[in-house]
Amino acid sequence: MVSRKCTLALSLGLGLWGLVGAQNHALRSDHVVVNSQRHWNNWAFVEGTLDVSASGEVVPAFVPKDHNAVTDIVQHLQRLADNATILDAIEAGTNKAAVANLFDGDETTYWEPDPDSPLRDWWIQVDMGRLINATRVGLQFVPEGQGDPFLQFAVLTADNADQGNKIAGKVPMHLVYRTPSDNKNQREFEFDLNRGELINPTPGVDFAGDMVRFVQVVITESDGARAVEVSAEEYEALASRDKGDVVFNKQVGEGEVEVEAAIYEAIDSQLRGPVRYYRRERPRLAELAVYELGKNISQGMVLDRNGSAESSHDGSVGNLVDGEGTYLTFNLKAFQTGNVEFGERFLEFDLGASYWLDTVQLWYSLSVAGGRLAGASFHRYAIQTSDGTPAPGGGRLWRVPAQVRGLGTAYEVNTFEPTPARFVRIAYPFSSSESGREGNKARVREVQIYGEGHHPEVELESGLIPLQGAKNLVSIEWEADTPPGTSVQIQTRTGNEVSEAYRYYDSGGAEVSEGKYAKLGFFKKGRIDTLQVAGSDWSNWSAPYAHSGDPIASPSPRQYLTLRARLTTTEPMHAASLHSIRLNFNPPVAKQLQGELDIGIFERLGAPQEVSLFVKPTFASQDLGFDEILVRTPPDMSLEFGALRLGSSAQWESGQAEELADVQVMETRSDSLWLRLDRLINQGGQVDLVEVQFTTALFSPGVVLQAALGNSSLANSWQQVDPADVTELAQSQGLQILASVQDNKVLGDLGIQPEVVTPNGDGVNDALTIDFTVRRLSGERPVKVRIYDLGGRLVRRLDTQKPLVAGKYVLDWAADDEQGQQVPPGIYILRIDIDADSDRDVRQTGVQRLLHVAY
């Protein structure tokens, strides 16, 4: 637990990390795979935000409402002491060790008081490890035949985490339940907690439950050795520890009285009454449940998730989220109504991860406020939330969800619609007038934050993955389930250089600085972890891959890799699940491939222009070499091959580079150019530079081409070409094509053929073709193509839509209407429209032409 949390913190500072020997992947001959619980557990992610199953499934953790707080007592105790166990949370008058059975979820294990101890010792007390907003308590006794419920008992609670509130060494308790009569048969009990009178109660939003740290169960009555009467035969069959009293009775009149055994034997047989046999009482409690409003998100955010709790005026306010209930005082200013500003003073909490939030509760101390909430609260304040989005002027962008506030005697509860957030602010007002004077003091004991749902966003990072030599990274695949509203995003980084870094610990396991470690005594020094971190040549994170099976976008070949996955949801009750990631690789075709374009500027969008791609290969002796070239553009572009030249540096300098005559243009999509050469180019081929000439048209302000070289003898051998300045023959120093800013028309190159359509079925001019281009726009949006008569009535819709709106369009019209009937001869109006972004400096987003129909 601690190791993963600290490693995450380090990764944020160093960029890439990896504990030497950490098994965060499996390396095969042609791929890397991450698909097991052990792999995922060696990735870095915020503590508690992911559930990793034994089968290797990764799911954002679910934060529940109505949470049984006993299930994570140990987790809270270990925040203060790593070696804490459940026994550290238990006190008992008898049989203390067995109290742990009450939290194991097994109804056949139990706590039973020592029958030989006095009744006053028949009690247990559990420390929840922190203050909770407890809503109800449940007790479950063992099944019938395996023991008895308590004959009579009481349940008490206390919120006094402050040890100074102990009386005679004991925490003062508050009675919350007592059995009204003897209980012989009921084996399940559950009762609500609601301490304190509500002020202006509002159902559903007021404080429900009670602030609880300690829960005590006390047995107040017992049947002892006379729990159940049994027959003599049944009595003899009982285990010795279960045998209760044997009662001898003397008949008196119509009744009977109990006598000693010796007296029973001495009296006349006519006076002897029945002998009664009893099984001893076996009071056995199987489970104790203490339900809280939900998992309190604020607890653990500092120690577990590297979050923070800060005040605008008083620095750290971590005491407000530590579950101890120690109050802090905040000075308030008196103010005039209508002269209030929020946000100048605030408490700010970084939860350390993103959550769905819907409730913020404040618990105040009334002990020095005259016992009144008005003397201890902030009076007027606002709950603000942020998901971390930067604000235009700096800082974070905060929103104020619509809030409903309920009040208790010492509590305030603020509820709002589920909101994804990582940061929470309690902004309280100040006086903006010079007459503002010191007013009341807010005395806050605890801030509790609740919500329900899977984490809105969880990010996990693999750390360093050595590939055992330079590998040509080909494609990435993953297996995931993405219900509606969820997504899985995968990214990669690659590099060749790594260096070592170190983490130091004292003998207690706490991380310390290198300087402090050096000053520790020999026996106080702990372990030193060695980490590998990214060197200076590492790439930035790739854009998220769109589809499983996509080609690797990070530079390749490389010796090291790291992966990042982000799981998101816009639906609190839905979550994506990630099962595996696989990255395929091959031996490299070259040690390095670098390229640049020589194009200048496209002066006119949509107009074909010649482009040259120069590629400089660098080979090592074991490289495969290449005989294929692939150039890819966005889908709105098409490529037409011109020529291919290659040669050594000397040949290029002397103008004698060879133009290959036998270049095969392979069949592929129109936005790609796939060439196969008549020879293999490798280390012995004396080729220092390759030029590919092609013609294309640009429809947007700028695009980045992708190029790859491959070996036809090996499937999936494509190796990317990295942008670089490779030759003085090109001017661009990269793989980007730009358009002149002067051409700002969106619609252009409209053509209509023939000029007159004659739909008479003779095969000549029976339909007309409409072609045009859309430029300077991106993304997917509809293009409206409609035909009207001269009266303005709609005749025909030819609307169309493509994944990328920019590009060339070709549509046919057979002089028919919406019902498929031929239109009468005459003149018609063609109208083409497209919605452009309002902030773009574009024009001509609609065009209109006349169409002629004759018979």
What pLDDT shows up at residue 709?
A: 96
The pLDDT score that the predictor gives to residue 669 is 80
pLDDT for the residue numbered 742: 58
CB atoms within 10 A of CB 181: 8
How many whole angstroms from its chain centre is CA 691?
46
Q: Which domains does the chain have, with CATH numbers?
A: 2-61+457-586 (no CATH), 69-224+285-291 (2.60.120.260), 228-279 (no CATH), 308-440 (2.60.120), 592-739 (2.60.40), 747-853 (2.60.40.4070)
501-505, 537-541, 763-767: range with lowest mean pLDDT: 501-505
pLDDT tier at 22, thresholds 50, 70, 90: low
Could you tell me if 418 and 357 are in contact, meaning their C-beta atoms sit under 8 angstroms apart?
Answer: yes
Residue 805's pLDDT band (cuts 50, 70, 90): confident
Q: Express each pLDDT in 32-70 by its tens digit.
A: 999 999 999 999 999 899 999 999 999 999 999 999 999
pLDDT of residue 589: 95
Rounded distance between C-alpha atoms, residue 485 and residue 723, angstroms: 36
Give me the mean pLDDT over the 272-282 stretch: 94
462 — alpha (psi -120 to 50), left (phi > 0) or beta?
A: alpha
Angle at 214 between CA 211 and CA 215, to 5 degrees: 100
Read off the pLDDT of each residue in 587-592 and give the average, rounded to a whole number: 94
DSSP bridge pairs for 722: 594
Confidence of residue 334 (pLDDT cuts 50, 70, 90): very low
594 and 726 Cβ atoms separated by less than 8 Å: yes
**Alpha carbon separation from 811 to 517, 779, 836 (Å, rounded):** 75, 21, 21
Q: What average pLDDT does this structure show over 398-419?
A: 88
Q: Out of 309-313, 604-608, 673-677, which region has the weakest mean confidence (pLDDT)?
A: 604-608
| The pLDDT of residue 6 is above 80 | no
By DSSP bridging, strand 736-739 and strand 601-602 are parallel
Q: What is the pLDDT of residues 69-79, one digit of tens each?
A: 999 999 888 88
The model's pLDDT over 418-473, given as tens digits with 9 standing for 90+, comes to 999 999 999 886 544 444 344 567 888 899 999 999 999 999 999 899 999 999 99
What's the pLDDT at 49? 96
Q: Are 294 and 64 contacting, i.e. CB atoms less than 8 angstroms apart?
A: yes
Give the tens place of pLDDT for each residue, 702-732. Answer: 778 889 999 999 988 999 998 888 998 887 7
Only one residue has tokens 């696989």, namely 582
pTM recorded for the entire structure: 0.77
The DSSP annotation for 212-232 comes to EEEEEEEEEE--TT-SEEE-H
Share of residues in the chain with pLDDT > 70 (%): 87
Query: pLDDT (tens digit, 9 = 90+) per residue, 254-272?
Result: 899 999 999 999 999 889 9
| Reported confidence tier of residue 135, pLDDT bands at 50, 70, 90 | very high
Calpha distance 113→586 (Å, rounded): 68
Q: Is a pLDDT exceeding 60 seen at residue 10?
A: no
Sequential DSSP letters for 387-411: -SPBPTTSSB--B----EEEE-SSE
More confident residue, 760 or 54: 54
| Gap between the Cα atoms of 846 and 110, Å rounded | 79
How open is the CA angle 509-512-515, to the nearest 5 degrees?
140
